[in-house]
Amino acid sequence: MKLSGVLTWLLLIAIFISGPAAGFDIDRLELRHLGKEAEFVFIGTVEAIDYRTSSVTSEDEVALPHTFVTFKIQEVLKGKAANKSITLRFQGGRIKTPDGEYEYLIPSLIPLFDIGDRDILFVKGNGKSICPLVGLRQGRFRLIGDHVYTDLGRPVGFSASPLRSLPFLRNDIIRPLELFDRLLNPRTSVDRKIASRLSKAAHASIRAAIKAAPYSAPVLRAKHLLVHDLNEISGMDAMASSPRAKGTREAIVKPLVSEKEMTSVRLRGQTRGLLQKPPKALSASETALLNRLLLEDLYHPHLVRRLDKGLVRFPFIASETPSAVLKAVMGHEALCVDCRFELKRIDSGAGNPDGVAQALNKATMTKSTAEAFLKHLRASIPALHTEDELKALTPVASVKIDEPFYVKAAKPVRPVLDLILSRAAVEGQTGLEAAEEEAMIKSGFNPVLKPPRVE
């Protein structure tokens, strides 16, 4: 078995320039992001795996192996299916060489499947992206035994801590340009009040981003600065930090607006119930929750609604991992009957890798059984959407295995190192995250997959 250097290079470029078409985002996604962005969420079992190579009919096309995975649908959690099974197409797989050997394209961020795998899948862009899952491998959860695991075998659970579920994250802003317009051109007194509390840096970044492309560097930076300010004015920063000299955390966190100011906004029952309570009767976490709900209701549908629990991915510890999980994650048998290879661990570091983990009380973090995870997910889908949004979803069709498809030949992108390090320092990114983001930005986010041809 060998991995072609050409295929490896094409793989790296494909990951860099896939952009929004692949549902790719370097940020770690919460369950609310996965559930909101997915077109179709289901529980399914892999019943067939096929391989096909993209067609080449012009100089700007390249032959790349792809994997067609057919799932038997056991339960639909969001959306509609055209049939009782669905075939998803993933970039990567095997390609036969003239001498009868196989070469393999194994994308590091796209999951691999075996016959019999049972998964929860968050589908988006099937047939249009290099990976038809929200957040690439983040959109696949393994159901093994009585528990839920990530694609790479990390146990999954939830935390009820406000520090996990309440803070705004960059991916919470799903319609950035519309939200930026609201803040630059306030429609109501509440809009003006919120906008006036944003920092000068946030205002400047929003003005720079308002006419930019949705996934461009100015928009990403504006989203980053905006969520920082939203966490500050809603009280999340005060809760996460130590008490200040001028008072306790309880005194620092205050409601953003009064009930009278929100009379023109359609409020949910939970928001209205907290808003009607005297401010002094609310704890710091209740006030921060109220402020988060107020902002969600005020800027719906630009912001993703929170869930009452935050998703936690526990560390991968081989000695504590069931053998069935190790077998599913560390090996892969579907590419070739005679081959089995080990996948490199890329997230096996000790400790909880999520950003706010250090501030969490470990007592609030529990590994989830499959039953509890699915119960929470079933309740989450209607909480993230309106009835009209769910009714408007159209059935997601399978890709046709024998139908030709085309892949653009990607051009190399060389990020500027000093710019990468500068952004990493300012925004708290790792060097790899910043490099990936810079490469995607420079590429213009051109999709790797070309649209189907109309003869």
- What residue numbers bound the domain in which 196 lies? 167-298
- Predicted confidence at residue 102, as pLDDT, reads 82
Which phi-psi region, left, alpha or beta, contains residue 84 (left: φ > 0; alpha: ψ -120 to 50)? alpha
- Is 381 inside a domain boundary? yes
What's residue 435's pLDDT? 57
DSSP single-letter state for residue 44 = E
Q: Produce one character per residue of 163-194: b if its CB has 16 or more CB atoms within 10 Å, e if not.
A: bbbbbbbbbbbbebbebbebbeeeeeebbeeb
The per-residue pLDDT for 356 is: 40
Q: Give the tokens for residue 228.
A: 């920082």
What CA–CA distance (Å, rounded) separates 418 from 150? Answer: 34
pLDDT for 50-87, tens place per residue? 999 999 888 888 888 999 999 999 999 999 988 999 99
Same domain, 288 and 325: no
Domain termination site, one of 265, 298, 331:
298
Tell me if 407 is assigned to some domain.
Answer: yes
Instruction: Please give the Cα distance from 307 to 31 (Å, whole number).
Output: 8
Give the three-class secondary structure for 375. helix
Instruction: Mark which of 298, 331, 364 sits at the end of a domain.
Output: 298
Residue 45 and residue 132 in one domain:
yes
Residue 308 maps to a domain: no
Q: Are residues 156 and 172 in the same domain?
A: no
The band of 340, judged by pLDDT with boundaries at 50, 70 and 90, is low
The pairs formed by 293-297 with CB atoms below 8 angstroms and a separation of 24 or more are 293/268, 294/255, 294/256, 294/257, 294/262, 295/168, 295/194, 295/230, 295/234, 295/256, 296/271, 297/262, 297/265, 297/266, 297/267, 297/268, 297/271
Q: Are 109 and 24 in contact (CB under 8 A)?
A: yes
CA angle 352, 24, 344 (to 5 degrees): 55
Residue 92, sorted as left (phi over 0), alpha (psi -120 to 50) or beta, turns out to be left
Give the single-character DSSP code of 430.
-
Does 232 share its domain with 317? Answer: no
Residue 279 in domain: yes
Place of tokens 């009380």: 361
In this structure, the answer to whether residues 137 and 17 fall within a common structural domain is: yes
pLDDT at position 341 is 57
Q: How far is CA 356 from the centre of its chain?
A: 17
Asked whether residue 39 falls in the same domain as residue 107, the answer is yes
Compute how many other C-beta atoms are within 10 angstroms of the C-beta atom of residue 330: 17
The answer to the question of residue 399 being in a domain is yes
Sequence-ordered list of residues with C-beta below 8 angstroms from that of 88, at least 6 positions apart, any chain: 68, 69, 71, 121, 123, 126, 132, 133, 398, 399
The Cα–Cα gap between 398 and 89 comes to: 9
Give the model's confidence band at 12: pLDDT under 50 very low, under 70 low, under 90 confident, else very high. very low
Check pLDDT > 60 for residue 311.
Answer: yes
User: Considering only CA atoms, which of 153, 124, 122, 142 is closest in space to residue 30?
Assistant: 122
Mean pLDDT of the chain: 79
Residues 355 and 435 grouped into a single domain: yes
Q: Examine the fold and report which residue of 250, 268, 298 is the final residue of a domain before the chain moves on.
A: 298
Task: Report pLDDT digits (tens) over 230-242.
Answer: 999 998 887 766 4
**pLDDT one-digit tens code per residue, 133-163:** 998 899 999 999 999 999 989 999 998 888 8
The answer to whether residues 435 and 344 belong to one domain is yes
- When divided into structural domains, the chain yields a total of 2
Answer whether residue 306 is part of any domain. no
Is the same domain home to 156 and 171?
no
Q: Are residues 125 and 237 in the same domain?
A: no
The residue type found at 83 is N
Q: Are residues 172 and 151 in the same domain?
A: no
Radius of gyration in angstroms for the set of CA atoms belonging to the chain, rounded to a whole number: 23
**Residues 84, 195 within the same domain:** no
Mean pLDDT of 104-129: 91
Is residue 19 a part of any domain in this protein? yes
CB 44 within 8 A of CB 71: yes
In a domain, 303, yes or no: no
CB 3 within 8 A of CB 103: yes
Q: Are 65 and 79 in contact (CB under 8 A)?
A: no
> What would the DSSP string read from start to end of 107-136?
-TTS----TT-EEEEEE--TTTSSS-BTTG
